[in-house]
């Protein structure tokens, strides 16, 4: 039997024909890429628009360099801003200075705003404006959302030069003269036609800063939100008065009372609360009349300023005003009081229980417990003159004092309280025997505080005492008058007075 050797078949892709075909295709593709300048890998056509009609770096539009990708980026790299600036030199100047591009965030990423490869008709500038924050130009559109009164504003209303976003001063006047021609004529004459030198699109001024305004008149507090024309009527800015009364008419209650310097009491934040001497208004300190007892009316209703401040001069309080309330609350008392002291209430009273122009301390100091005692406790039936000053006039002498300590209470008691009391004129040491202060009953065993008995502690008998004192010729009657010879309680100080 004839034997045949089995031959292994080679894969077609590795056949000579396939390899030659692949090589020819690769060379052809490379030649095509070379001839097209890399457009084979382009994601889309470049923009062919040119708003100005003038070439930039000898190029009319990006479409003219579509075959040279390296003009904008390295192979397989994104847009490189350095390459953008090789042509757009004016943008490089803006970025380095105070131009628009110098104020943008991420300005080095040109492709963030200016997208490419979106077709010949794609407008790189218009697309960038769609999400543009106009406040970055330092001119707000907050008050420029409508044109005149009827139509909405468009970019071209202010940016009239195609391809340029600069703005001429005459552009502002075009609209604003239609709104108020007379005002604009006066304004131009006074400040010129360069609107953007001062205005930022808001009510505030731009180049005329608040710091400059503060040198003339600081716009703080409520003044900060006040419209310019409130002070600068008719477009007049020169010679505007700085005094408060030029705008704020002096209220009736201030007439001839506080002057015209409002800042002495009021702040620019608001009229209320007012201050006196740079402190919140203190009625007692400012007027010497306290409102402590005048929080509520006699019927329990809250007191208002107008309860007392009535009439043509509200700051002044008439004495008759006091009687309107007090005579209603206690008519009999007020009738008697007026008969005795007259109706000039504020001559004596300061709104408290004390007297305004009377120093009680010069007659009888109101210290300690006396400070809180009602006037009527001492001055009965409104009789103030001739009131006795002696303690016993009010404090009846208690039984234990009868004929023993006298009527000068201050010898033992203080105004802080009856107890604890201290007998300041006691002739015998109260700490006898170094036992500390003794109780009165240790020596005074009976109800009389003039009699004493030493034998409560010292157990002497008569014979012993007589024997020890025989040479002194002490009589039986003198025998137990110990303090006569022992005034300090010591044995060695004994002396017998014949």
Q: Note the pLDDT tens digit of each residue in 245-285.
A: 888 877 666 666 667 778 877 888 887 777 766 666 677 77
Model's pTM, two decimal places?
0.34
Where do the domains of the chain lie?
A: 39-132, 146-261, 283-347, 360-411, 432-493
| Mean pLDDT (the chain, rounded) | 77
Q: Note the pLDDT tens digit of each residue in 327-371.
A: 888 888 888 888 777 788 877 787 776 566 677 888 889 899 998
Q: Note the pLDDT tens digit of each residue in 21-79.
A: 777 777 777 766 666 555 667 788 888 888 777 888 888 988 888 888 888 887 767 77
Q: Note the pLDDT tens digit of each residue in 385-397.
A: 778 888 888 888 7
Per-residue pLDDT, 496: 47
pLDDT band at residue 132 under the 50/70/90 scheme: confident
pLDDT over 60 (residue 195): yes
> What mean pLDDT comes out for the span 105-128?
82
pLDDT over 50 (residue 1): no
Q: Note the pLDDT tens digit of each residue in 352-364.
A: 765 666 778 888 8
Counting residues of the chain whose pLDDT is more than 70, the rounded percentage is 80
pLDDT over 50 (residue 498): no
Per-residue pLDDT, 458: 75
Cα–Cα distances (Å) from 414 to 254, 335, 408, in that order, read: 50, 38, 11
């Amino acid at each position: 039997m004839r034997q045949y050797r089995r031959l292994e078949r080679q894969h077609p892709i590795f056949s000579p024909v396939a390899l030659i075909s692949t090589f020819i295709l690769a060379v052809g593709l490379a030649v095509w890429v070379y001839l097209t300048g890399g457009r084979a890998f382009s994601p889309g056509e470049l923009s062919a628009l040119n708003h100005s009609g003038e070439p930039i770096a000898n190029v009319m539009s990006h479409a003219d360099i579509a075959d040279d990708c390296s003009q904008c980026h390295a192979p397989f790299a994104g847009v490189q801003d350095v390459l953008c600036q090789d042509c757009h030199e004016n943008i490089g100047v803006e970025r380095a200075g105070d131009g628009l591009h110098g104020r943008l965030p991420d300005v080095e990423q040109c492709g963030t705003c200016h997208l490419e490869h979106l077709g010949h008709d794609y407008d790189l500038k218009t697309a960038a404006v769609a999400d543009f924050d106009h406040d970055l130009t330092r001119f707000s559109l907050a008050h420029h959302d409508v044109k005149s009164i009827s139509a909405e504003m468009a970019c071209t209303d202010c940016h009239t030069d195609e391809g340029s976003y600069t703005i001429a001063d005459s552009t502002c006047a075009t609209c604003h003269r239609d709104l108020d021609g007379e005002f604009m004529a006066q304004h131009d004459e006074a400040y010129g036609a360069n609107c953007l030198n001062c205005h930022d699109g808001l009510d505030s001024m731009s180049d005329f800063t608040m710091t400059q305004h503060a040198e003339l008149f600081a716009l703080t507090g409520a003044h900060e939100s006040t419209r310019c024309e409130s002070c600068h009527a008719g477009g007049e800015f020169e010679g505007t008065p700085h005094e408060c009364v030029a705008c704020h008419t002096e209220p009736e209650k201030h007439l001839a009372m506080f002057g015209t310097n409002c800042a002495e009491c009021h702040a620019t934040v608001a009229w209320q609360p007012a201050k006196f001497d740079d402190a919140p208004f203190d009625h007692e300190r400012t007027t010497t009349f306290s409102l402590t007892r005048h929080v509520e009316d006699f019927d329990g209703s809250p007191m208002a300023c107008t309860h007392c401040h009535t009439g043509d001069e509200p700051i002044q309080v008439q004495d008759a005003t006091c009687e309107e309330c007090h005579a209603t609350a206690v008519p009999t008392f007020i009738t008697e009081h007026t008969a005795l002291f007259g109706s000039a209430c504020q001559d004596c009273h300061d709104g408290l229980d004390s007297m305004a122009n009377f120093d009680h301390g010069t007659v009888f100091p109101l210290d300690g417990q006396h400070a809180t005692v009602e006037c009527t406790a001492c001055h009965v039936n409104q009789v103030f003159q001739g009131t006795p000053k002696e303690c016993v006039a009010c404090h009846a002498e208690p039984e234990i004092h009868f004929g023993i300590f006298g009527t000068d209470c201050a010898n033992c008691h203080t105004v802080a309280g009856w107890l604890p009391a201290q007998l300041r004129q006691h002739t015998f040491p109260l700490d006898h025997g170094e036992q500390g202060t003794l109780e009165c009953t240790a020596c005074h065993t009976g109800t009389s505080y003039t009699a004493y008995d030493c034998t409560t502690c010292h157990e002497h008998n008569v014979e012993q005492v007589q024997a020890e004192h025989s040479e002194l010729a002490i009589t039986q009657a003198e025998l137990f008058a110990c303090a006569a010879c022992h005034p300090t309680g010591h044995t060695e100080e004994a002396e017998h007075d014949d």
